[in-house]
Amino acid sequence: MELNADFTQTVLVLNADNPWRKSPSAGVERKMLDRIGDEVARATTIVRFAPGSAFAPHTHDGGEEYIVLEGVFQDEAGDFPVGTYVRNPPTSRHTPSSKPGATIFVKLWQFDPEDRQHVRVDMNTVKTEPDQKRVGVETAILFEDAQEHVALEVWQPDVTHQFHAPGGAEILILEGAVSDGDTTLGPRDWMRLAPGSAATMTSGPAGARIWTKTGHLRQMITQ
């Protein structure tokens, strides 16, 4: 299966326009954002787990990166409530579950194969710093290596800046809203900017909290 698999194109997926679809696992529904492959796939997805969901132990050969958007996601390492950012690198193994139910934004098979760094960050309490190049924006680095830069961005109300993506970028709205001039993006709306592109963004009257990942799509063009 291929969905939004042309990485030379900018893609915008509005959450309200993307219906829930059943997965092969009972109690699990998903909204696919991009995908290359079938059930084992390079994929970006919003996944909803019913209360009481539990899963067999499994290994993430290609790594797993996720944000908890609703509820509490759980495994042997503990409970991960709303706002938790997690990276389980290639070869990591866990037994996930969710007693109350959970919704997560998750990316699979998108790691450097040599990455072995586990990351767990509470984005509700992480300290942000003023962005020296963008007035009215504060950022906190969640993860960074030679391949990618992952950050939380907090935009004050009615701020306009150009978002440059020389190596490609992804933007997920966590709270508030931003507009690219044509479309207003709200919570759980997702945009993928093609490498070499840019977008002018303006935050809404309540500002915005945005998860961003940049630089990581360059290799998708050269493959």
Q: What confidence tens digit (pLDDT) does each residue in 63-104 have?
A: 999 999 999 999 998 999 999 999 999 999 998 889 999 999
Q: Could you tell me if residue 83 is inside a domain?
A: yes
The stretch 191-213 carries a mean pLDDT of 97
Range of the domain at 133: 129-222
In tens, the pLDDT along 2-34 reads 999 999 999 999 999 999 999 888 889 999 999
The enclosing domain of 109 has a CATH number of 2.60.120.10
pLDDT digits (tens, 9 = 90+) for 144-186: 999 999 999 999 999 999 999 999 999 999 999 999 999 999 9
In a domain, 210, yes or no: yes
CA distances from 56 to 12, 93, 96, 202 (A): 33, 11, 8, 43
Domain boundary among 75, 97, 122: 122
pLDDT, average across residues 210-214? 98
In a shared domain, residues 86 and 168: no
Number of domains in the chain: 2
Cα distances from 75 to residues 44, 88, 98, 102, in angstroms, run 21, 12, 8, 13
Q: Is the pLDDT of residue 223 over 60?
A: no
Q: Are 97 and 26 within one domain?
A: yes
**What pLDDT score was predicted for residue 221?**
66
Do 25 and 118 lie in one domain? The reply is yes
